[in-house]
Amino acid sequence: MTLRGRLTTAFLVVVLGPVLFGSIFVATTVATVSQDRADERLDHAATTVRTGIGAVCRQLQTAADAVAVVPPGDRAAVANQLVARGLASDIRIAGETPPAPPGTRMSDTDGWQDCANPADGPAAAITATATSGPLTVVAAQLIDDAFLDRLAASSGAQITLDGPETPENRRLGVESGQPLPLTLTVPRSKPTFLYAVLLAVVLSAGLVAVLVARWLAHSTTRPLGELAVAADLVAGGDLDTRVPIPRPDELGRLASTFNRMTRELQAYVQALTASRDQLRGHLAILGETLSSTHDVDRILHVILRTALAATGARAGLVLLLDPTGRHLVARCAVGLTGDWDVPEADLAKLRLPVGSGVLGAVAAGNEARRGQGEVGSAEPPCRTYVAVPICAPATVDDPLVPDNGPATLGVLALYDRVGGDEFDEGDLHTLRTFAGQAGVAVHNVRVHEEAQRLSLTDPLTGLWNYRYLRESLRREVERANRFGRMLAVLVLDLDHFKEVNDTYGHAAGDAVLGEFARRIRVGLREVDVAFRQGGEEFVVLLPETDAYGGAIVAERLGAAVRARPVPIEPRRPGQPDRIPVTVSIGVAVFPEHGADAQQVLHAADDALYAAKRAGRDTYRLAEMSSGVPEVNFGPTGNAAGGPQPPRQTRGR
């Protein structure tokens, strides 16, 4: 059943129920009143009839007494006079001496009932008797239709003699003073018109109730139906739907609330759409940045900007752990105030100890925090904040991630949400997402750097490998050519290294190579670069160094290697635990010994073989290229003849 049907039924039950019960009550009351009134009329009629018959009996007794007390000669005349006056229908005299005239004597008295002593049987008359000695006077009143009509007229009831008793009449029994078996009938009033009026009123009320119920149900359910249709349209995505407000009642307030809710929902959806589009744009930029660069600072800057736009924060900060893991170093900041409002170039100077303050506690406990007020005396000032740890992704068999879970790489913090509201759980979840992106980015960059380092370094000695040598040599030659500087190239080769492997084993050979690489690094400047070209052959690049400086470095490196034998673990008892090692070195200089990187390297290699031919444990300078006078150095590094090349102070 529809709501309109239920409302109509409920209204009809509420309205017609009392009407029907009232009409039934009225009809019952009318019938009861009619019955009561009929009973009252019967009671009144019975009382009246008894009174009337009692009066007739007294009248007859008076007449009989009057005849009995007069002289005998006057009795007949008095009797006739009384009959003539209607006080009795007949007067009979018995026992008179001399006898009374025949008209006044007792004759046929069948059916006469004595008022004082009535008896069962037919009642043709009622009598009253007066005696005086032997004299008996009987005064009688005939019971005829005229007598009954007079009784009916006085009582207001229909009177029949010895009629049957029914629910609608009353029968008077025979008793002293009431010698007649009379039946009284009072005509009952039948309120047919009243019933007809009552039925018409009920039908009219029912018709009016049905019409009113339909109107009320329609006027009530029509706004609800419109509201339901509008709700379906809104559910289908039509947020421009509005419901008319018919009246300022409850339904009107409901429609007004629905319209306000729809407007707010439309504004909220528009804001969400704009935020989604903005977030998509930021994520597109973030994805493009992550896929196109390995610059950590640039990636962190994009992530921080995206997090600020997504949460509506005023300022933000990204800090990463330093290599020691004891301090957080600022890497990227936006909108900070106070002591933290510094140029980007000076951000690295802002450091926080791990475990101190809110940010230090986030890094130490690897748990996010949010709240109000100052986060710490040494941290950026703010009203509200939210900070989450930046963690490396947990991957299987990742050497950069510890076994006990993701390592903390840093902290991502946002400050002072626009509008003054505190950061909520949604902002915390959003910031965790961006912190996860930052952790992946930083981890990927470090993995890339580690992979690149491993691909460009020699795992035994820790020096750069031949692959990186070619790139570095090309770059240094281009720089020297651009700025008009010199570049010295040294090629080093351990003497008789094969005998070391054959005599002492490859483990001893690896120990010799590792110690040799260490001594090379100790003897170089920070700008100098050492490479392992392969086997026991090494290359050193000396930027902004001429031939004289290269010779000094070669002599120094040879002396450092020659001075101290390399300690090893003896393979067999009786073998020495130290191996003497020497090195042969070839020196070449750009642009004196070659016009490009490959020529310079070949020139240094040729000089190495010249040192080998000269007896090893020495160095040689490469021959001059065409058009440049040749300068030869002896084992001590002094010029063998001719002018010496210009010298540069190396600060060694």
The per-residue pLDDT for range 62-80, each reduced to its tens digit, is 988 888 888 888 888 888 8
- Of 141-150, 261-270, 371-380, the least confident: 371-380
Residue 638 has pLDDT above 50, yes or no: no
Mention every residue, 6+ apart, whose C-beta is less than 8 A from residue 452.
none
Asked if 15 and 210 count as a contact pair (C-beta separation under 8 A), the reply is no
Range with top average pLDDT, 66-80, 178-192, 336-350, 580-594? 580-594
Asked if 387 and 369 count as a contact pair (C-beta separation under 8 A), the reply is yes
What is the band of 644 on the pLDDT scale with cuts at 50, 70, 90?
A: very low
Range with top average pLDDT, 312-326, 375-389, 403-417, 483-497? 483-497
Omega before residue 643 within 30° of 0, cis: no
Give the count of beta carbons closer than 10 Å to the beta carbon of residue 423.
23
Nearest to 462 by CA among 519, 420, 416, 419: 519
Q: Once rounded to an integer, what is the mean pLDDT over residues 415-442?
A: 82
What residues form DSSP beta bridges with 589?
488
- CATH annotation of 457-621: 3.30.70.270
Asked if 582 and 561 count as a contact pair (C-beta separation under 8 A), the reply is yes
SS (H, E, C) 204-269: HHHHHHHHHHHHHHHHHHHHHHHHHHHHHHHHCCCCCCCCCCCCCCHHHHHHHHHHHHHHHHHHHH
In a 3-state reduction of DSSP, which class is residue 345? helix
For the chain, the straight-line distance linking the first and the last C-alpha, in angstroms and rounded, comes to 104
Beta strands in 46-187, from DSSP E residues, in sequence order? 90-94, 112-114, 125-132, 135-142, 158-161, 169-172, 182-185
Residue 628 has pLDDT above 60, yes or no: no
Domain range annotation of the chain: 44-185, 293-450, 457-621
Residue 370 has pLDDT above 70, yes or no: yes
Omega before residue 244 within 30° of 0, cis: no
In a 3-state reduction of DSSP, which class is residue 135? strand
In angstroms, the CA 426 to CA 368 distance is: 13
Please give the pLDDT value at position 1: 64
Asked if 532 and 538 count as a contact pair (C-beta separation under 8 A), the reply is yes
Asked if 307 and 434 count as a contact pair (C-beta separation under 8 A), the reply is yes
70: left (phi over 0), alpha (psi -120 to 50) or beta: beta
Residue 412 has pLDDT above 60, yes or no: yes
Give me the chain's average pLDDT, please. Answer: 81
Please give the pLDDT value at position 248: 77
In angstroms, the CA 22 to CA 17 distance is: 8
Write down the residue that tokens 């009033």 correspond to.
189
Q: List, for residues 141-180, the tens digit of each pLDDT value.
A: 888 888 888 888 888 888 888 777 776 777 787 888 778 8
Residue 629 has pLDDT above 70, yes or no: no
Write down the residue that tokens 């949400």 correspond to.
417
Asked if 401 and 445 count as a contact pair (C-beta separation under 8 A), the reply is no
Cα torsion 233, 237, 239, 241 to 10°: value is: -20
Asked if 517 and 532 count as a contact pair (C-beta separation under 8 A), the reply is yes
In a 3-state reduction of DSSP, which class is residue 590? strand
In a 3-state reduction of DSSP, which class is residue 83? helix
In a 3-state reduction of DSSP, which class is residue 72? helix
Q: Once rounded to an integer, what is the mean pLDDT over residues 104-116?
A: 69
In angstroms, the CA 72 to CA 96 distance is: 8
The top-level CATH class assigned to 293-450 is alpha beta
Give, in order, the Cα–Cα distances in Å from 580 to each of 57, 511, 535, 564, 639.
180, 12, 18, 7, 29
Cα torsion 466, 471, 472, 476 to 10°: value is: 140
pLDDT above 70 covers a percentage of the chain that reads 86
Please give the pLDDT value at position 611: 95
In angstroms, the CA 606 to CA 472 distance is: 20
Structure tokens belonging to residue 544: 């902004």
Structure tokens belonging to residue 568: 């090893």
Please give the pLDDT value at position 642: 32
The single-letter code of the amino acid at 560 is: A
| Phi/psi at 139 (5° precision) | -100, 125
In angstroms, the CA 394 to CA 443 distance is: 10
In angstroms, the CA 447 to CA 465 distance is: 19
245: left (phi over 0), alpha (psi -120 to 50) or beta: beta
Asked if 87 and 112 count as a contact pair (C-beta separation under 8 A), the reply is no
Do 293-450 and 457-621 agree at the fold level?
A: no
370 membership: H or E segment, kind and range? strand 369-372
Q: Once rounded to an integer, what is the mean pLDDT over residues 311-318?
A: 88
In angstroms, the CA 58 to CA 178 distance is: 11
Nearest to 488 by CA among 560, 554, 557: 554
Beta strands in 470-514, from DSSP E residues, in sequence order? 487-494
Asked if 614 and 620 count as a contact pair (C-beta separation under 8 A), the reply is yes
Q: How many CA atoms lie within 13 A of 14 on its CB side?
A: 8
pTM of the complete model: 0.45
Rg, Å, the chain Cα set: 70
In angstroms, the CA 123 to CA 121 distance is: 6
| Phi/psi at 424 (5° precision) | -105, -175
* Interior/surface letters 376-402, b for 16+ CB within 10 angstroms, e for the rest: eeebbbbebbbbbbbbbeeeeeeeebe
Write down the residue that tokens 């005509």 correspond to.
187
By residue count, the chain amounts to: 652
**CA angle, corner 23, sides to 19 and 26, nearest 5?**
135
619 membership: H or E segment, kind and range? strand 619-621
User: Contacts by 255-259 with C-beta closer than 8 Å and gap 24+?
Assistant: 255/223, 255/226, 255/227, 258/227, 258/230, 258/231
What is the band of 442 on the pLDDT scale with cuts at 50, 70, 90?
A: confident
Residue 633 has pLDDT above 70, yes or no: no
In angstroms, the CA 618 to CA 637 distance is: 10
In a 3-state reduction of DSSP, which class is residue 175? strand
Structure tokens belonging to residue 617: 């444990």
What is the band of 599 on the pLDDT scale with cuts at 50, 70, 90?
A: very high
Asked if 198 and 24 count as a contact pair (C-beta separation under 8 A), the reply is no
Could you say which DSSP state residue 575 is in?
S
